[in-house]
Amino acid sequence: MCSQSRASLMTGRDFPRTGTMLVNGGYDYMNRGEKTAGHIMAADGYKTAHFGKWHNGRTLGYEPWHFGFEDSWFPELYINLDNMMRHNGKYVQTEGLMEQDLMDKLLGWLDGQEQQQQQAGNSSQPFFMYYAPNAIHQ
């Protein structure tokens, strides 16, 4: 239920309505027209970010940045060491433990939000961040 749960969480809809029916075989893709929490928050002026497992489509047109997330890091493969990740459409080879690397990137993003808030005199843009650890599957 990995892909289906993620699709329901992101859209607020029952998973069959999102097009996500299984976890493999091409049935782990959300319909392109689905509106996600990322879309809704971005439309309301929030900065949006996704870190971790996506598993709702990995081919062109189905990545997190097509579903309302302006910043995204996710593993290309679900392996724990020295993983290839994707950052906003670019492939990046990482070293070390995947979950630690994702958490470092997430914390760096949060630090950036805090710095922007300080520079703006505590009137910065709100943000929505979605973190989906892969380790839950181990």
At 2-11, the pLDDT tens digits run 888 888 989 9
> One-letter amino acid identity for 74?
F
**Contact assessment for residue 13 and residue 4, using Cβ atoms and an 8 Å cutoff:** no
Q: What is the pTM of this model?
A: 0.87
As a whole number, the mean pLDDT across the chain is: 87
Residue 136 pLDDT > 80: no
Q: Which 3 state secondary structure label does DSSP give 121?
A: coil
Give residue-wise pLDDT tens across range 54-89: 888 778 888 999 999 999 999 887 777 888 999 998
pLDDT at residue 82, as a whole number: 86
Question: Residue 77: what pLDDT?
Answer: 76
Q: How far apart are CA 11 and CA 37, in angstroms?
A: 6
| Conformational region of residue 82, where left means phi above 0, alpha means psi within -120 to 50, and beta covers everything else | left
